[in-house]
A and B are shown apart, each in its own frame.
Chain A
Amino acid sequence: MKEYKTINQIAGPLVFVEGISGVSYGEIVEIILPFGERKKGQVLDISESVAVVQIFGTTSGINISQTSVKFLGDTMRVSVSDDMLGRIFTGMGEPKDRGPKIIPEEKLDINGLPINPYSRECPADFIQTGISTIDAMNTLVRGQKLPIFSASGLPHNQLAAQIARQAKVRGTEEEFAVVFAAVGITHEEASFFMRNFERTGALEKSAVFLNLANDPSVERLITPRIALTVAEYLAFEHDMHVLAIITDMTNYAESLREIAAARQEVPGRRGYPGYMYTDLATIYERAGRVRGRKGTVTQLSILTMPGDDKTHPIPDLTGYITEGQIVLGRDLYRKNIYPPVDVLPSLSRLMNLGIGKQKTREDHKGVSDQMYAAYATGRDLRSLSAVVGEEALTDTDRKYLRFADEFENKFVRQSLYEDRNIEQTLDLGWNLLSLLPEEELKRVKSEHIEKYLKKNASVRTC
């Protein structure tokens, strides 16, 4: 192994090493500090005699004369094994609990390789999360990547924990293994998840990777990749259905910007690097189903929108890569509605593949579309009635207003431990739709109105 003492420049997380030879691009580097402390890094740029190394962790304590640099001859790899379930690791993949070392079945490159689009299979198995706004209107399917767009102060952690707890594929006993990656979140948030997993016994089928707020920010670029490498391994080598939860992707993007700035790269929008789309894609695209393999990787990442702004580069680029998004709304939260899922900007692109006859119920799509249209109309009318008063509205309009209110109170709202099955959810939907005149129900098929509307009509006194 080649070792050098030829550092000639240190700038932020970057170290420039001179006079090297035989070093490859992307290679992992070990830095040995004067007092024996060791750090890791990666080669970012390599020419005939100079290597630029990015250090994971802080660069404090590195000096030019006494620090030595060892090139390890390979790119970043993680040891994987199915014994990793039930264990807790650091953001770099080292065991953090008191358990034994992992005996690797394989050592895999954390960057993975792109899945051949030809080898993919369309995700189509409905996941019942027990949450009405997701199951009925933004259906999650196995192998999908569906992020939660949240904002500071909203209960996205509770929602993610509830999904992890309740998610199941109906008609099968197959359980989800959870791979959880904490990226730059606080100790408090991390321990919320840990307690939750412990209490529900979910920890035994989870592998947890923790990069906390006070861990080096460069490691944040590594943690999700390690977690997804493990997820892919469990799914495609051990036939497991894996739910990968990554929180919080905003911290990831912040790190990406920090490193790009240190490298003095030309910044793109709001200082984020121009390649952020490609970089995020190498994370989000690591989900799906592969032909001939039983396992799947479903990705549920959480990001907090800076300033509640959906057009901020982080949620914006994410939305262009992921298969939809679940958006949490502050207005709903203020009304004390949990989970505050704002269905209008939310979307599941793969929904149509997972619903309908034999999968959920024949009326699913119609009910969902009708509720979307009705709720949107109701919300518009709310602002109108604020100006002109409810009296100036037509009868039908007033019914829409009532629908929007009931929708939020009965359909969106549910308790932290309420696990509604899809029939309950859809029946509840029909119950709400019965508030509207029948001729307004253009999105549902006439035969479904016959079959479901009467049965679930709410008894109205007014």
Chain B
Amino acid sequence: MATKKTNDENSARGYLKRISGPVVEVSNLTDAKLYDVLRVGKQGLIGEIIKIVGNTCIVQVYEDTSRLKPGEPVENTEQPLSVELGPGLLKNIYDGIQRPLKDIEAKSGHYITRGINVPPLPRDIKWEFTAKVKIGERVKVGDIIGEVQETELILHRILSPYEGIINKIKSGKYTVEQEIGEITVGGKKNNLYMYQKWFVRIPRPCAEKFPPIIPLITGQRIIDTFFPVSKGGTAAIPGPFGSGKTVTQQSLAKYSDTEIVVYIGCGERGNEMTEVLTEFPHLKDDKTGKPLMERTVLIANTSNMPVAAREASIYTGITIAEYYRDMGYNVALMADSTSRWAEALREIGGRLEEMPGEEGYPAYLARRLAEFYERAGRVQTLGKDERYGSISIIGAVSPPGGDISEPVSQNTLRVTKVFLALDAALAQRRHFPAINWLMSYSLYKDSLDEWFRTNVAHDFPGMRDKAMELLQKEAELQEIVQLVGPDALPDKEQVVLFVTKMLREDFLQQNAYSEIDAKASFKKQYLMLKSIIFFYEKAIHAIDIGVQLKKIQDNLVTMKIGRMKEIKENELEKLSELHKEIDVSFTEIVKK
């Protein structure tokens, strides 16, 4: 789909009538359609029609509108907002409307100036294209017509945008703009390129969606064990500032077992994106040892960049994610933060003088949020070979004052299946990840249990439920302790408190900045949890046969449990040894 330039002056040209912040009014665009992209003013700022009233189009402009004057010309590109999809997306960093920030720097220096027009995909790189279809072959939409090794980690599959018969196709070195072949579609000939365009607000189609039965392995103990996310699932992370949303998002981006990561920094801090940018090229992928950046696309529309482009950034990101899903990859999409996106909607809505819904947000907030999360899922893609891909969306929410009764949190929770509640009180005592285990939930738990039983251990779900039960019990006991002090509790209940402290400190807490602890395999998680539960069972048994509580509390094996996290993945037999040591230590205590 190449850009169609129109020369029909009368219908495609209008002029500026009114300017009010990021929203402007344009007159005389006769054939304009809703969501057409415009070039506004002499500098050609990018804008999008969001409302049409009679002869006037209301346009949101993706760049700063200072110094625009009424009467300046406006040109209609007659196409909705779209992204370029093709080799060169990975390792790139884009703004909210897919302008490459690296190339912007080359053009305008450290600051982003206005009216810059740079193509999203690099035009000068020649990619080694290998054709996968023969001349004369009939292809359908989504069939693989060829491959490009985009980065060392990722093989980029070129998908046919048409249904028809291949006339010409040839392997070789091409730039994205050079033709790689030709296809006959219903008697008409079309050129084939390595890239295609797609309208960001329209989901890319798939053959079939599947239920969530495979977990997204994140390496984060509290998530994997207690609140698992499935591949193709959706999760919301709401939390007040300083509770570790971004660190959690970044950990998930680093350690999730997906092939592709799309990270959207939506209205957040500039330095945070820089951190990702400086860190990811150095972080190594576990399986291949190649930098994580090789499989990452970054979208950065920081808080001080134009608000309308922030609104678009979420759609730009999800469309790119869908494109890689269609190649048959598992994609993790991080959106940090969806609240800023909702605020952009509110700001634009306010400028349009729309009737506001709750807390000034537009009435269509719920629908827009649901539409976005609905683009997640595990699917069979289009195309004749059976390909499966998935998009898991992890959206951060920043509720004002940390109070999740506000509309963005509530509407998000209605559509997402995992809720990871971040808790400021935990963060303050440096309990990270500061996910509150009593408030959080995962609706995927039951559908994933089958997978856990076959792939981790048959007793894993049971053990997890046991641990959760203990943590619940602890919360109840704490209330009593607040009134009468810990010594007044019966021994068995004090054992519960003793063990749950272990669970909290030695299992749930995980140090994102420690090389060893930042990621834990399912095997390690299982063995760690097993040690603690084993300790609990032994301790309860000891109390039953009359052992003093003090002896259990002074059991030196607890020190070893406290250092479990520091055991490396290749030394997991140490954890099995620890089980024996627990056993031995209790035998000795009981003997005395």
Contact of B66 among A25, A277, A310, A347 (CB under 8 A): A25
B110 and A116 form a contact (CB under 8 A):
yes
Cα distance A21–B429 in the bound complex, in angstroms: 61
Q: Which 7 A-B pairs have the closest CB atoms?
A: A311-B401, A392-B485, A281-B303, A376-B429, A26-B66, A47-B18, A113-B111
B429 and A373 form a contact (CB under 8 A):
yes
Given contacts A268-B346, A446-B563, 15 further A-B contacts (CB under 8 A): A21-B71, A24-B68, A45-B18, A47-B17, A47-B19, A114-B270, A115-B112, A116-B104, A116-B105, A311-B240, A316-B400, A345-B424, A365-B513, A384-B481, A439-B562
A116 and B111 form a contact (CB under 8 A):
yes
A118 and B18 form a contact (CB under 8 A):
no
State the Cβ distance, A399 to closest chain B Cβ, in Å.
15
A285 and B66 form a contact (CB under 8 A):
no
Contact with A along B346-377 (1 / 0, CB 8 A): 11001001001001100000000000000000
Binds B, one of A86-94, A180-188, A317-325, A410-418: A317-325
Interface set, chain A 260-308, CB cutoff 8 A to B = 265-269, 274-275, 277-278, 281-282, 284-286, 288, 290-293
A46 and B111 form a contact (CB under 8 A):
no
Cα distance A114–B310 in the bound complex, in angstroms: 14
A48 and B17 form a contact (CB under 8 A):
yes
B274 and A25 form a contact (CB under 8 A):
no
Asked if A344 CB lies within 8 Å of chain B CBs, one says yes
Cα distance A278–B342 in the bound complex, in angstroms: 12
A111 and B401 form a contact (CB under 8 A):
no
Asked if A393 CB lies within 8 Å of chain B CBs, one says yes
A118 and B346 form a contact (CB under 8 A):
no
Binds B, one of A3-11, A32-40, A119-127, A166-174: A119-127
A117 and B429 form a contact (CB under 8 A):
no
Contact of A117 among B93, B242, B488 (CB under 8 A): B93
Smallest CB gap from A342: residue in B: B428
Smallest CB gap from A352: residue in B: B513
A22 and B110 form a contact (CB under 8 A):
no
Smallest CB gap from B247: residue in A: A349
Spell out A's residues near B (CB within 8 Å): 21-27, 44-48, 74-75, 109, 111-123, 143-144, 236, 265-269, 274-275, 277-278, 281-282, 284-286, 288, 290-293, 310-313, 316-317, 319-321, 323-325, 344-345, 347, 349-350, 352-353, 365, 369, 372-373, 376-377, 384, 387-389, 392-394, 397, 439, 442-443, 446
State the Cβ distance, B47 to closest chain A Cβ, in Å.
14
State the Cβ distance, A450 to closest chain B Cβ, in Å.
15
Give the residue among B108, B302, B558, B563 with the most A Cβ atoms within 10 A.
Answer: B302
Asked if B482 CB lies within 8 Å of chain A CBs, one says yes
A311 and B403 form a contact (CB under 8 A):
yes
Spell out B's residues near A (CB within 8 Å): 17-20, 25, 64-71, 93, 101-102, 104-105, 108-113, 240-242, 246, 265, 267, 269-271, 273-275, 277-278, 300, 302-305, 307, 340, 343, 346-347, 350, 353, 356, 359-360, 398, 400-403, 424, 427-431, 481-488, 505, 513, 558-559, 562-563
Q: Could you jot down 17 A-B contacts, CB within 8 Å? A: A25-B19, A115-B304, A118-B105, A119-B109, A120-B274, A122-B275, A266-B356, A267-B360, A269-B360, A275-B350, A311-B400, A311-B401, A319-B241, A349-B242, A373-B430, A393-B486, A439-B562
A-chain residues with CB within 8 Å of residue B343 when the two chains form the complex: 274-275, 277-278
B17 and A236 form a contact (CB under 8 A):
no
A-chain residues with CB within 8 Å of residue B269 when the two chains form the complex: 285, 321, 323
Contact of A268 among B109, B360, B424 (CB under 8 A): B360
Contact of A114 among B25, B305, B403 (CB under 8 A): B305
Smallest CB gap from A282: residue in B: B304
A-chain residues with CB within 8 Å of residue B104 when the two chains form the complex: 116, 118
Cα distance A442–B82 in the bound complex, in angstroms: 52
Cα distance A69–B435 in the bound complex, in angstroms: 58
B302 and A323 form a contact (CB under 8 A):
no
Q: A116-B112, A120-B270 are in contact. Are A46 and B19 (CB under 8 A)?
A: yes
Smallest CB gap from B431: residue in A: A373
A-chain residues with CB within 8 Å of residue B483 when the two chains form the complex: 387-388
B277 and A118 form a contact (CB under 8 A):
yes
A117 and B67 form a contact (CB under 8 A):
no
B101 and A116 form a contact (CB under 8 A):
yes
Smallest CB gap from B300: residue in A: A117
Contact of B67 among A24, A123, A268, A353 (CB under 8 A): A24
A278 and B430 form a contact (CB under 8 A):
no
Contact of B69 among A24, A111, A113, A389 (CB under 8 A): A24
B242 and A274 form a contact (CB under 8 A):
no
Contact of B110 among A111, A290, A344 (CB under 8 A): A290
Q: A24-B67, A117-B277, A117-B302 are in contact. Are A384 and B270 (CB under 8 A)?
A: no
B270 and A113 form a contact (CB under 8 A):
no
State the Cβ distance, A234 to closest chain B Cβ, in Å.
15
Give the residue among A46, A117, A325 with the most B Cβ atoms within 10 A.
Answer: A117
A-chain residues with CB within 8 Å of residue B93 when the two chains form the complex: 117-118
B-chain residues with CB within 8 Å of residue A45 when the two chains form the complex: 18-20
Cα distance A47–B24 in the bound complex, in angstroms: 9
A277 and B429 form a contact (CB under 8 A):
no
B25 and A47 form a contact (CB under 8 A):
yes
Cα distance A344–B434 in the bound complex, in angstroms: 14
Cα distance A191–B19 in the bound complex, in angstroms: 42
A114 and B68 form a contact (CB under 8 A):
no
Cα distance A44–B18 in the bound complex, in angstroms: 11
State the Cβ distance, B461 to closest chain A Cβ, in Å.
29
A113 and B482 form a contact (CB under 8 A):
no
Cα distance A389–B275 in the bound complex, in angstroms: 48
A-chain residues with CB within 8 Å of residue B69 when the two chains form the complex: 22-25, 46
Cα distance A163–B199 in the bound complex, in angstroms: 51
B429 and A372 form a contact (CB under 8 A):
yes
Cα distance A268–B360 in the bound complex, in angstroms: 6
Q: A278-B303, A325-B242 are in contact. Are A117 and B265 (CB under 8 A)?
A: yes
State the Cβ distance, B575 to closest chain A Cβ, in Å.
18
A114 and B347 form a contact (CB under 8 A):
no
B-chain residues with CB within 8 Å of residue A277 when the two chains form the complex: 267, 303, 340, 343
A-chain residues with CB within 8 Å of residue B71 when the two chains form the complex: 21-22, 48
